Structure 1
Amino acid sequence: MKRFALIGAAGYIAPRHMRAIKDNGHELVSAYDINDSVGIIDSISPQSEFYTEFERFAEHAWTLKRNSTTELDYVAVCSPNYLHHAHIAAGLRLGCDVICEKPLVPTPELLDELSLVERETDRKVYNILQLRHHQAILDLKDKVANEASDEKNDVELTYITSRGKWYMESWKGDPRKSFGVATNIGVHFFDMLHFIFGDLQHNVVHYSSDCKVAGYLEYENARVRWFLSIDANDLPESVKGKKPTYRSITVNSEEVEFSEGFTDLHTISYREILAGRGYGIEDARHCVETVDAIRSTVITSPEYNKGHPFLQRLI
C-alpha cells in the first residue's frame, strides 16, 4: 500500500484523484487546500489529515518522512494551473514521486526546470494524460496506424463545455492563472491528437477570446480544424437544453464516439503509474509546446477549407 498526499483537495478534479487512490488499494494520508469545502473526503478517505495552510501541510509531511513506515510515497497535485510548478517541485523535494493534473506546466522552459528538480531529488513527475487510456482513442490510434497512406486524415475537433458566470470570477477565468481556454480545457485534446496522428507540423489560431478559441493544426497524419468553448451559446441546437457539454471528433467525416468511458480514466491512469507505465515530463512536452504556441501566436484569417465550421458565427 502506497501513502499519498493531495494538494488542491477542494478543486473540481480532486475527488477523481481521491477515488483513484482508494480504488487502487492505497491510502490518502494528508490533504491540503486553502479552501475548506472538502466534505467529499468523508466518503472516500475520512482518516486523512487536512490542512488549509501549506506550511502546516509541509511540516506534517516532513515529520512523516522521519520514519520509513510513515513517510509519503506520492504527492498528487490538483491545484490551480499556475501553482503546478511550485507544488510539483515541493512534492519532489519532500522525497515523493508526483502525479499532476493537466496542464503539467504552461511552458517548455518550466518542463526543463522540473527535469532539473527530478535529477536533483531522484524522484519522478507523472502527468495525467487520461485520453491516452480511453478505449475509443486507442482503437482510433490503431486504425490510423494500420491504414497509413500518403493522404492525411481530415479531422474536426469540437469541444464545448458550458460554464456559468462563476467561471470568469474564479482563477480559471484569469489567463494569468489558467493560461486561457485552450490550455485549461484543451491541453489533453492536443495531447490526444499528437498521440494518434504524430508530430505537429503547423499551428495556426483563427479566433481567440476569454471564452472560446479556434484554429488549425497539421500533424504528420492529419489536418485538424478545432474549436473549444465554455460558452453555452455555442452548443448545437440538437444539444441545447439537453446537455451542457458537446464533444465531437470526426475523422474523414466519420464520427468517433467517445462520449462515454471518462469516469474511470483517472483510476486507470493511477494504476498505470503505480505499475511503472505512467507518462512523464517528456510525454507531456508536445502538448505543452502546442498550447504555449497557441497563446503567443498572432491571429490569422482561415485559409480555404482550414477554418472550423463554427467560425462562421464569429467572424
Structure 2
Amino acid sequence: MSKNFALIGAAGYIAPRHMRAIKETGNNLVAALDPYDGIGIMDSHFPEASFFTEFERFDRFVDKWRRKNDQKIDYISICSPNYLHDSHIRFALRNQAHAICEKPLVLNTKNIDQLEIIENEGECKIYNILQLRLHDSIIELKKQVEKELSENPNKIYDIDLTYLTSRGKWYFISWKGNIEKSGGVASNIGVHFFDMLSWIFGPIQESIVNIKQADTNAGYMRLKNANVRWFLSVNYDYIPQNIKESGKRTFRSITVDGSEFEFSDGFTDLHTKSYQDILSGGGFGLKEARNCINIVSEIRNLAPVGLHGEYHPFCKKVVS
C-alpha cells in the first residue's frame, strides 16, 4: 500500500535523491518545506505536493492531516541543516510519523540518548540514511573481513581513508561552514565513511586529531580490528594533480593493507535502496547511528596534535 511522505529541506543538495526514492518506491509526497522557494526540481517528481516556506504553516498542514481519519502522513523525510535534525525528528514523532533523517543524524551522542527516550514513548521509529552499508562492494568487503577474522580474530588491518570534495567560497558563508551548525568537516562529509569503517572493522578504541582547520580535518583512529589514517577536506588545492587534470573536483580513496578498495560506482541508487530497506521492515536506527556520531563528536572536541605519531600522508600538503 502506498505511503504518504512529507519532506523538510526540499531545496537542499540531497533532497532530490529523497524525492526520487519516494517516487521509485511507489509512494506519495504530500507536502514539502524549505525557506528557499527555488525548487523546480519538484516538478520532476511530485508537482502536486503542497509546498511551504514557513514552518508554522507546514506544521499546521501536517497537524490537520494527522487529525483526519482517512489521511495520515506516514513518514517525514529530513534533509534540513545538520543542527536542525534533532528538532525535526522530534516534530515527526510528535505528529505520529516515522522519521527518515539524512546523516549525520544529530551532532552529539547525548541527542541520541534523548531521542531514544522519545522514540520509546510511541510507536514511530527514527531511521538514519547510512547508505554505504547498502553498497554492494562494501557489503562484499565486510563479508571478506568477517571471513578473515573468523580465521584470525586478532588481525589488525591498516586503512587509509582519503576524501576530498572541493567546495567554493559559498560553502564557508553557508551553514555548512559554521561548525555550530554543521559539526565541522568530519561531521559534514566524513560521518558516513566513519560509520562504514566502524561497521566493518569494529568500534573505536582511540582517536587522535592531527589537523583541524575550517576546510580540512585529519587524524588517526584505532578500531577494534583496524588502524585508520584519515584525511578529509573541501579544499581543491589538496586534490592530486592527475585528478585535477581529468577535470574532476572530487577524490575518494580507501586502501586496505596497501591495496586500493574500489567502490567508485554504485552510488546513484543507494537512497532508493535505503527507502526500500526501511519500508520492508529494515533500516538503520538510533543504535546503528550511535557509533559514528560518537566518533565525529569526539573529533570535534579533540585538540589537534600536529604531525606526531601516525598520520595520513596528505597531512604534509597542509603542514610542511
After superposition, give the CA deviation of every residue in 1:79-135 in whole Å (9 maximum; x if it has no partner).
Answer: 000100001100110000000000000111100111121122321100000000011
Q: CA deviation at 1:145?
A: 0.8
> Which aligned pairs between 1:1-315 and structure 2 lie closer than 5 A?
1-148=2-149, 149=152, 150-241=154-245, 242-304=247-309, 306-315=310-319
Residue 238 of structure 2 contacts residue 317 of structure 2 at CA under 8 Å; is this kept in 1?
no
Aligned equivalents of 2:313, 2:176: Cα separation in 1? 27
After superposition, give the CA deviation of every residue in 1:126-171 in whole Å (9 maximum; x if it has no partner).
Answer: 0000000011111111111111223311110000001011101111
Aligned equivalents of 2:122, 2:40: Cα separation in 1? 34
Aligned equivalents of 2:318, 2:46: Cα separation in 1? 46
The SS at the match of 1:95 is coil
Using the size of structure 1 for normalisation, the TM-score is 0.98
After superposition, give the CA deviation of every residue in 1:263-290 in whole Å (9 maximum; x if it has no partner).
Answer: 1000000000011110001110000000
Aligned equivalents of 1:120, 1:135: Cα separation in 2? 35
Aligned equivalents of 2:145, 2:276: Cα separation in 1? 26
Q: CA deviation at 1:303?
A: 4.2
Aligned equivalents of 1:235, 1:65: Cα separation in 2? 49
Q: What value does the CA root-mean-square deviation take over the aligned residues?
A: 0.9
Aligned equivalents of 2:69, 2:314: Cα separation in 1? 56
Aligned equivalents of 1:224, 1:140: Cα separation in 2? 16
Q: CA deviation at 1:234?
A: 0.7
Q: Which consecutive residues of structure 1, in runs of 5 or more, have no partner in the other structure?
A: none
Whichever residue aligns with residue 11 of structure 2, its letter is A
Whichever residue aligns with residue 92 of structure 1, its letter is L
Bigger shift: residues 98-107 or 114-123: 114-123
Residue 210 of structure 2 contacts residue 308 of structure 2 at CA under 8 Å; is this kept in 1?
no
Aligned equivalents of 1:167, 1:205: Cα separation in 2? 23
Aligned equivalents of 2:107, 2:159: Cα separation in 1? 25
Aligned equivalents of 1:102, 1:114: Cα separation in 2? 15
Q: CA deviation at 1:302?
A: 4.2
After superposition, give the CA deviation of every residue in 1:166-222 in whole Å (9 maximum; x if it has no partner).
Answer: 101111011111110000000000000111101111111000100010000111111
Aligned equivalents of 1:314, 1:247: Cα separation in 2? 18
Bigger shift: residues 211-220 or 145-154: 145-154
Aligned equivalents of 2:221, 2:87: Cα separation in 1? 31
Bigger shift: residues 115-124 or 243-252: 115-124
The SS at the match of 1:309 is coil
Residue 307 of structure 2 contacts residue 315 of structure 2 at CA under 8 Å; is this kept in 1?
no
Q: CA deviation at 1:298?
A: 1.7
Aligned equivalents of 2:298, 2:141: Cα separation in 1? 26
The SS at the match of 1:86 is helix
Aligned equivalents of 2:46, 2:306: Cα separation in 1? 51
Using the size of structure 2 for normalisation, the TM-score is 0.96
Aligned equivalents of 1:235, 1:29: Cα separation in 2? 42
Whichever residue aligns with residue 220 of structure 2, its letter is Y
Give percent identity, aligned residues only: 51
